[in-house]
Structure formats: structure tokens, C-alpha cells
């Protein structure tokens, strides 16, 4: 199969927008599940694993960012920044959440577990077009953030956003 996870998530977003235009509101997770079923998989986790099966060797490090409120994290990372959930884990119902999210090639782990990550962590995230990302995020205004682009930042133009726990994401368009 030549479909990437990023392409599958893009298709799920298109499905969600199409259904919304028809008056049917579903969450992004539901759209992923429906798209996975369209591909012939039982669920999104199975589809995601199959789409990742051909990757091998060592990959990039995955930062673990400390969060302290699941709904606030979903509002910020999924709704505002446009990340998608890859998988979630809890040892038992009601226990702290550990979740892996992805946007394109960027993967972050968010954890409510004490000792995982430190509030105030900085993650440098390379992007192909920081202005396009800025325009996209600006379409979904956040009540406490109005990020700009620093054209003089080391490494290239950078948009910095700070999550509700003080974790800093620096989206940078690297210069040659």
C-alpha cells in the first residue's frame, strides 16, 4: 500500500469537512475510524500500524510534554494546532492519560503522568512553510494566543506557541 499516515489523515479531514457540509458533525477521531474502515481495516489503530509497517531502523526522538488537563490538551493540540491522535494509553479508567499525537512528520507524546516531561519544555519543530502554518492556525484563533513570525530567529523564520502548561513549540522554516 502506498498510502502514508499523513495522506490518510488528510483524507479523514476531507471526509469530516464533507460530512459537516452535509450537516453531519463528527469528531476527527470518528473520521479516522471511518476512513480506516473504508480502507478495509477494523479500526484506525490497525490502519495506522499497517501504514507504518514498512518503516524500519531508528527514527527521530519523540519529545514527551507534560500536560495536566486532558480536555485542555485536546483543545490546544488537536483543535488549535491541528495535530491528530495516533494512540492513547491509560493503565485504568480514570488514570492519567498518555497520548501520542502527530501533525505531518512531527510526533509528540503528551503525558499527565507525574515525572513524565517537565512543564516549560521547548521543542524545535522544522516545517516546510511557516507562513502557511501561521495562516492556518490564525483561522482558528485561540483566546490567549496570537503568534507571529520572527523573521530574525536563528535557523530561519519561526512561529512560537506556548501551550497551557508553558511548553514552547518553535515551528521553524529552516534556512539553507
Give the domain extent around 91.
Answer: 60-176
Task: Identify whether residues 111 and 136 lie together within a single domain.
Answer: yes
Q: Which one of 14-28, 52-66, 88-102 scores highest in mean pLDDT?
A: 88-102
State pLDDT tens for residues 37-48: 888 888 887 787
Q: Specify the higher pLDDT residue, 50 or 131.
A: 131
Where does a domain end: 43, 58, 73? 58
Number of domains the chain contains: 2
pLDDT above 70: residue 5:
yes
Task: Identify whether residues 19 and 65 lie together within a single domain.
Answer: no
Task: Identify whether residues 4 and 26 lie together within a single domain.
Answer: yes
When pLDDT is cut at 50, 70 and 90, the band that residue 163 belongs to is very high
Share of the chain above pLDDT 70, in %: 94
Task: Identify whether residues 52 and 139 lie together within a single domain.
Answer: no
Where does a domain end: 58, 83, 103? 58
Task: Identify whether residues 89 and 149 lie together within a single domain.
Answer: yes
The pLDDT value given to residue 119: 85
CATH code of residue 151 = 3.10.180.10
Question: What is d(CA 67, CA 96) in angstroms, rounded to the nearest whole number?
Answer: 10
pLDDT above 70: residue 55:
no
DSSP labels, 44-107: HHHHHHHHHTT--S------EEE-S-HHHHIIIIIIIT--EEEEEE-SSTTSPPEEEEEETTEE
Number of Cβ atoms within 10 Å of the Cβ of 51: 21
State pLDDT tens for residues 82-123: 999 999 999 999 899 999 999 998 999 999 998 898 888 999
Task: Identify whether residues 108 and 170 lie together within a single domain.
Answer: yes
The pLDDT value given to residue 36: 84
Question: What is d(CA 143, CA 69) in angstroms, rounded to the nearest whole number?
Answer: 17
Task: Identify whether residues 34 and 70 lie together within a single domain.
Answer: no
The pLDDT value given to residue 132: 95
Task: Identify whether residues 94 and 157 lie together within a single domain.
Answer: yes
Task: Identify whether residues 102 and 128 lie together within a single domain.
Answer: yes
Is the CB of residue 109 less than 8 Å from the CB of residue 64?
yes
Amino acid at each position: 500500500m502506498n498510502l502514508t499516515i499523513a495522506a490518510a489523515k488528510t483524507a479523514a479531514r476531507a471526509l469530516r469537512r464533507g460530512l459537516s457540509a452535509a450537516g453531519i458533525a463528527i469528531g476527527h477521531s470518528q473520521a479516522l475510524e471511518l476512513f480506516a474502515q473504508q480502507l478495509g481495516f477494523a479500526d484506525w489503530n490497525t490502519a495506522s500500524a499497517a501504514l507504518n509497517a514498512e518503516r524500519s531502523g531508528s527514527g527521530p526522538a519523540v519529545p514527551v510534554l507534560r500536560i495536566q488537563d486532558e480536555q485542555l490538551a485536546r483543545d490546544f493540540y488537536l483543535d488549535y494546532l491541528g495535530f491528530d491522535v495516533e494512540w492513547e494509553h491509560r493503565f485504568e479508567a480514570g488514570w492519567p492519560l498518555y497520548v501520542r499525537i502527530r501533525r505531518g512528520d512531527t510526533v509528540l507524546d503528551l503525558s499527565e503522568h507525574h515525572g513524565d516531561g517537565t512543564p516549560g519544555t521547548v521543542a524545535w519543530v522544522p516545517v516546510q512553510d511557516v507562513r502557511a502554518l501561521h495562516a492556518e492556525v490564525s483561522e482558528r484563533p485561540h483566546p490567549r494566543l496570537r503568534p507571529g513570525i520572527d523573521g530574525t530567529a536563528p535557523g530561519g523564520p519561526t512561529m512560537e506557541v506556548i501551550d497551557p502548561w508553558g511548553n514552547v513549540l518553535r515551528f521553524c522554516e529552516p534556512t539553507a
